[in-house]
Amino acid sequence: MNIGMIGLGRMGGHMAQRLREGGHAVVGYDSSPQSDRDVDSMEALVKALSSPRVVWVMVPAGEPTDSVIETLAQLLDAEDLVVDGGNTRYADDTRHARYLDQRGIRFMDCGVSGGVWGAERGYAVMAGGSLEDFERVKPVLDALKPSGPDGLVLAGGVGAGHYAKMVHNAIEYGMMQALGEGFATMAKSPCITNPAAVMTSWKSGSVVSSWLLDLLANAFEDDPTLSGMPPVANESGEAKWMVESALELGVPTPVTAAALHMQQMSRGGADDILRAISTMRAQFGGHVTKV
Amino acid sequence: MNIGMIGLGRMGGHMAQRLREGGHAVVGYDSSPQSDRDVDSMEALVKALSSPRVVWVMVPAGEPTDSVIETLAQLLDAEDLVVDGGNTRYADDTRHARYLDQRGIRFMDCGVSGGVWGAERGYAVMAGGSLEDFERVKPVLDALKPSGPDGLVLAGGVGAGHYAKMVHNAIEYGMMQALGEGFATMAKSPCITNPAAVMTSWKSGSVVSSWLLDLLANAFEDDPTLSGMPPVANESGEAKWMVESALELGVPTPVTAAALHMQQMSRGGADDILRAISTMRAQFGGHVTKV
Amino acid sequence: MNIGMIGLGRMGGHMAQRLREGGHAVVGYDSSPQSDRDVDSMEALVKALSSPRVVWVMVPAGEPTDSVIETLAQLLDAEDLVVDGGNTRYADDTRHARYLDQRGIRFMDCGVSGGVWGAERGYAVMAGGSLEDFERVKPVLDALKPSGPDGLVLAGGVGAGHYAKMVHNAIEYGMMQALGEGFATMAKSPCITNPAAVMTSWKSGSVVSSWLLDLLANAFEDDPTLSGMPPVANESGEAKWMVESALELGVPTPVTAAALHMQQMSRGGADDILRAISTMRAQFGGHVTKV
Amino acid sequence: MNIGMIGLGRMGGHMAQRLREGGHAVVGYDSSPQSDRDVDSMEALVKALSSPRVVWVMVPAGEPTDSVIETLAQLLDAEDLVVDGGNTRYADDTRHARYLDQRGIRFMDCGVSGGVWGAERGYAVMAGGSLEDFERVKPVLDALKPSGPDGLVLAGGVGAGHYAKMVHNAIEYGMMQALGEGFATMAKSPCITNPAAVMTSWKSGSVVSSWLLDLLANAFEDDPTLSGMPPVANESGEAKWMVESALELGVPTPVTAAALHMQQMSRGGADDILRAISTMRAQFGGHVTKV
């Protein structure tokens, strides 16, 4: 089918390519003239699509997505469909849907997982919206997803796609932290000769077999001690939103929180805590912390 | 090759079967007459093997394993090899190795993962001991492991196999907890229509694709809300030993600890903590906690 | 000075009493006719005060506070001052301040700590607002606070009083959990004959001397094992808001989060997590969790 | 009474002074000639005491304490009493008691809290041993403890004093971390003008009133932002032993563990975890972590 793609960065560009390989006619736009865009404005993109139009928005969450949706609200017609495939916070989807609905424009949110591997391996797609809109855009979703029975779900109404993606990313954080704790413990233990070899062996037959382990094993081929990587990690919004949503729902998520906290610590987030602890210890014990 | 298997329970029985399918001659013994044993005593098992013998011990960790190893020390000859494939604490392996070494008997430890699926899928095997002993028993290990390049590693000297398995199980705890937090949050969230369908969709294309997710998806086919399962989990020793070892090594393992703590809480381990908190709140605020 | 008190429950009632003992003329109103109220409507309360009026609102956070502030906006005059002494979320203070400011009415927020002991011991008061409003209401705050140099602070602008109280309550959660973990560990340890006696001894000379420990020691006099208390704890909003605010600020708060998570678990919040874990273990290991 | 004190460092020196002020005759020995020692050998110390002797050992835990106890076993007579007042792991007390018991020498362990403030404020003393030995040494313990009813307890048999001190220190870790999280969150929050002033105000009337808060408030007088302190904290053994003991007892201690983990992280303990996380993110997302 005929689809507009706004945002041709790492994710949007690869997705456009996969859609074309799947037989769809993609009109791509990106604000950067250096991009591989087909048209040089959103107006041109809208004109190039046949009605009722489907426009996939794949730009950074927050202000950029807000701005694109506001522009599309001016350009599109009733019954056109906007799909937000970015990393928008689920709570913002409702706002976007209402805004577009004032003009009769339809809205869906799609969480998309797969990173740079998705172009080849297929993307896991989690959609939120009405069943009618889901069916309408399903040929596109089918082209994005991996072959086989899984990899695509209508998770619920508007917002559910991003909610599911948020949960997915939080699980990812927890799994990465679990694998990291195992690696770090073996790296320090005099018992284990080669932690990289141990973890690589788990790719097959073990209970922890997983795509994340496969990726780690890939990296071990070049750098078995990972000494080339910096000991810092950048948190993204999803795990934070997950912890907040779970707190409100009364669900304890200690593992998600712990993974997030460690990432914040790696960026100095706990420095004032440690200063306070050092201060109290210095006060009561005459301990002076040596740096 | 020719091998004795002591312990024909769920793990040992399936392993013996897989070894026979792999062309090995297994002499099996179990203390239970109801088992499918080939001989009715350890003496008979030892007599049935050709020298230098290899005996695989697959009985519960702690006293049962201690006891079998003490008996074998009396029955075996110098250069015979004992392999402990159970869930022994790594620190005990050194003790066992020294004990057997007094008689010139060789020792290896093997952590084995794979559960009831291993008979069919192959077991992940992590070995600890000398390279010489590893080579000697490698035909057996190759039969246990899955086909393909991975699934077997010599992790280090004596104790390293169980240490690696301990780390593996701790990672497993963290991953299960991460998946559980995601499921529970979606189960409580009004956004998500069907958490089981969302998680099942992740089997393909997602970052959290993993064997544990596959197992969960299997279970969802029969019981999408998991309401038939009890909200309790039994901790095993490995995650505890991992946390303890990491503490000594100075490696923080908040995710492993959190997973373990939740399992202990599900068994009432935190009841006195909660009583103390309720008490303080009642004292300062006149809050009375209603049950 | 002359002050109106809306809400004569456990906190408001005791505070009115302490204010009167401090020489202030308090006009009290409560929606309940069974209360010890001086007037039977907010209109009457407003009429009974001299201008510019000061009205202290001490009702439950959320809708009740919203509703009282909306009513006061209709009844008060410009330059009158509303003080919200309840447990309102700090983010709501800005909204309340703006709403009242449309009529020229001033607003302050005051976090008040001290529980049922405050009437006698004095309340710790954390104020948010302008220095001018703080000075105006200071005679009242001085009467509420304990004698001595501490117990009162202007923490910042509007919202800062409730923010400081939120942080205070989160610290309280962490401290209670720390004391609880110590009690529970000693209660299970065969080493310790009488955990209550040990903790009571810490009231003097120890590093953990604290008011919370004093309260616990009080309770131990009647029930050294705390067996009369239920093993559940009710979370209040403050620790949740603290974790959320800290997440946004990039500050890891693992102890606050852990305390909160345990309280949520005691109310069954983790049941679905545990069901998922039991399910995976049953799938891979043939483990059946016995209840 | 007459008592020998071995170890005249920060703790032992102050304790000897407090004992003398309490009317006891202290014979002090320290291995360092620069110390304020009364005798220059343990032999001389033993000779200077009247039988049955009481010798208080106040040297670092581990090898130094082991060594002193081994020497004392050679020098003392049956019915003499050794008191270990250091930070020995509770499990080692049993070993020491058995060792001395071979010669008929009595043993008690005493956990002592109070830091450099103890000389003036008095020390909280937690004793482990027999009631008979406790009564014998009670005049000394009474001189060490603060005046008033609390500050001294016989916690149980041999090992209980150090166990109670271990729990005490773990609670201290949790409380410091809770206070630290509150400080750090306020320090980053734009709402709060002066976190030091807020926390100082809590000294009176608040629920978090505590000696640790008093110490922090002391330090704020000189450095309200604590910017002069390094953002690192040194873990001591007690919290580790507490987490390990609680794990074995089935008691979850997430707050103690979290406090400990943060201290380990501040010393780089999590670097390999973070390297592994960065590696996986780089692999799946093309994310490159910028330092």
Judging contacts by C-beta atoms under 8 Å, the chain A residues touching residue B184 are: 246, 251
Instruction: Give the pLDDT of residue B291.
Output: 47
> What CATH number does the domain containing A201 carry?
1.10.1040.10
Contact B180 C277 (CB under 8 A): yes
Q: Could you give the CA distance from residue C241 to residue C159 in angstroms, rounded to a whole number?
A: 13
Q: How distant, in Å, are the alpha carbons of B42, B70, B103, C186, C284 from that of B74?
A: 10, 7, 9, 43, 36
pLDDT of C126 over the 90 cut: yes
Distance from CA of C183 to the nearest CA of B (A): 7
Residue A21 pLDDT > 80: yes
Provide the domain count of chain D.
2
pLDDT (tens digit per residue) in C47-96: 999 999 999 999 999 999 999 999 999 999 999 999 999 999 999 999 99
Within chain A, strands assigned E span: 2-6, 25-29, 54-57, 81-84, 106-113, 124-128, 152-156
Is the CB of C183 less than 8 angstroms away from the CB of B233?
no
Chain C: give the shortest CA distance to residue A264, in Å. 6
Q: Are residues B182 and B137 both part of a single domain?
A: no
pLDDT at A291: 46
**Do A221 and A203 share a structural domain?**
yes
What pLDDT is stored for residue D291 in this prediction? 46
Residues A148 and A178 in one domain: no
Q: Locate B238 and state its tokens.
A: 């490995």
Phi, psi of C115 (to 5 degrees): 55, -155
D126, D173, D208 ranked by CB distance to C171: nearest: D208
- Give the dihedral sign, CA A239/A245/A248/A250: negative
A142 and A171 co-located in one domain? no
Name the minimum distance, in Å, from the CA of B138 to any CA of chain C: 25
**Residue range B233-282, pLDDT digits in tens:** 987 788 999 999 999 999 999 999 999 999 999 999 999 999 999 999 99
B52 cis-preceded (ω within 30 degrees of 0): yes
Mean pLDDT (whole number) for C121-125: 95
A257·C262 Cβ contact <8 A? no
Which chain B residues touch D if contact means CB-CB below 8 Å? Answer: 207, 235, 240, 243-244, 247-248, 250-254, 257-258, 260-262, 264-265, 267, 269-270, 272-273, 284
Q: Kindly determine whether residue A269 and residue C251, on different chains, have CB atoms separated by under 8 Å.
A: yes
Tell whether C56 and C33 lie within a shared domain. Answer: yes
Q: Which two tokens stand for residue C165?
A: 């109280």
Q: How far is B255 from chain D (nearest CA, A)?
A: 10
Residue B276 lies in a domain: no
Whether residue A48 contacts residue A39, with contact meaning beta carbons closer than 8 Å, is answered with yes
How far apart CA A42 and CA D277 sit, in angstroms, is 38
Average pLDDT, chain A: 95
What element of type H or E holds D212?
Answer: helix D211-222
What confidence score (pLDDT) does residue C287 get?
55
Closest Cβ opposite residue A163 in set B174, B189, B249: B189
The per-residue pLDDT for A286 is 64
| Interface with B, mutate which of D245, D262, D264 (most B CBs under 10 A) | D264
Say yes or no: A138 and A225 in one domain.
no
CB contact under 8 A, D273 and A181: yes
Those residues whose C-beta lies under 8 Å from the C-beta of residue A280, and which sit 6 or more positions away, are: D176, D179, D212, D215, D216, D219
Distance between CA atoms of residues B22 and A178, nearest Å: 34
Residue of D nearest to B272 (CA): D251
pLDDT for the residue B284: 82
Which of B47, B145, B165, B188 does the annotation list as catalytic? B165
The answer to the question of residue C279 being in a domain is no
What's CA A169's distance to the chain center, in Å?
6
User: Between A and D, how many CB-CB pairs are < 8 A?
Assistant: 193
- Out of D47, D138, D145, D165, the active site residue is D165
Which of D207, D244, D252 has its CB closest to that of B244?
D244
DSSP C53: P
Q: Strand D25-29 to strand D2-6: parallel, antiparallel, or no bridges (unpaired)?
A: parallel
Min mean pLDDT across A193-207, B145-159, C12-26, C227-241 is at C227-241
Which pLDDT tens digit goes with each residue over C37-47? Answer: 999 999 999 99
pLDDT tens-digit profile of A32-67? 999 999 999 999 999 999 999 999 999 999 999 999
CA distance, residue A177 to nearest chain D CA (Å): 7
For testing the chain A interface, which of D220, D275, D290 should be mutated: the one with the most A CBs within 10 Å?
D275
A291 domain residue, yes or no: no
- Please identify every stretch of chain B with a pLDDT value under 50, giving residue numbers as ranges: 288, 290-291
What is the rounded distance in angstroms from the CA atom of residue D194 to the CA atom of residue D185? 12
On whether both B130 and B236 belong to a single domain, the answer is: no
Chain-chain contact of A174 with B255 (C-beta, under 8 angstroms): yes
Amino acid C225: pLDDT: 97
> D230, A182, D196: which is closest to B126 by C-alpha?
A182
- Give domain status of residue A274, yes or no: no
Residues of C in contact with D246 (CB under 8 A): 181, 184-185, 188
Q: Would you say residue B213 lies in a domain? A: yes
C291 part of a folded domain? no
CB A211 within 8 A of CB A117: no
Closest CA–CA distance from residue D151 to any residue of chain B (Å) = 21
C165 in active site? yes
Query: How many inter-chain contacts (A to C, CB under 8 Å) are there?
Result: 63
State the Cα–Cα distance between residues B198 and B189, nearest whole angstrom.
13
**How confident is the model at residue A156, as a pLDDT?**
98
Assess whether pLDDT exceeds 60 at residue A289. no
CB nearest C272 (choices: B183, B263, B268)? B183
Is residue C286 pLDDT above 70, yes or no? no
Q: What is the CATH number of the domain that holds C53?
A: 3.40.50.720
Does the beta-carbon distance from A252 to C240 stay under 8 Å?
Answer: no
Are residues C58 and C94 located together in one domain of the fold?
Answer: yes
User: How far is A48 from A43, CA to CA, in rounded Å?
Assistant: 9
Q: Alpha-carbon distance C2 to D15, whole Å?
A: 55
Q: Which of A113, A204, A216 to mutate to test the interface with B (most CBs of B within 10 A)?
A: A204
Residue C92 inside a domain? The answer is yes
Range of the domain at D117: 2-157
Same domain, C183 and C124: no
Strands laid side by side in the A81-84 sheet: A25-29, A2-6, A54-57, A81-84, A106-113, A124-128, A152-156
Chain B residue numbers with beta carbons less than 8 Å from the beta carbon of C254 are: 254
Query: Does D242 reside within a domain?
Result: yes
Q: Could you read off the pLDDT of C193-248 as tens digits, one per residue?
A: 999 999 999 999 999 999 999 999 999 999 999 999 999 998 778 899 999 999 99
Judge if C249 and C177 occupy the same domain. Answer: yes
Q: Verify that C146 and C188 share a domain, yes or no.
A: no
**Min Cα–Cα distance to chain C from A245, Å:** 10
Nearest CA in chain B to D246: B269
Q: How confident is the model at residue C116 (pLDDT cuts 50, 70, 90)?
A: confident
CA distance D112 to D276: 42
Is residue C115 very low, low, confident or very high in pLDDT (cuts 50, 70, 90)? Answer: confident
Q: Quickly tell me which residue has 């209709």 as its tokens.
A: C74
Q: Which residues of D touch C163 (CB under 8 A)?
A: 186, 189, 191-192
- Of the candidates C145, C165, C203, C290, the residue annotated as catalytic is C165
CA-nearest residue of chain C to A261?
C252
Average pLDDT of chain D is 95
Mutate to test the interface with C, among B172, B199, B272, B289 (most CBs of C within 10 A): B272
Determine the average pLDDT of the residues in D283-291.
62
Alpha carbon distances (Å) from A188 to B249, C273, D216, D271: 6, 31, 35, 11
Note whether A234 contacts D276, CB cutoff 8 Å: no
Q: What is the tens place of the pLDDT at every residue in D58-92?
A: 999 999 999 999 999 999 999 999 999 999 999 99
Q: Which two tokens stand for residue A243?
A: 């912890």
Active site residues of A: 165
Residues B144, B26: one domain? yes
Per the CB < 8 Å rule, is A247 touching C248? no
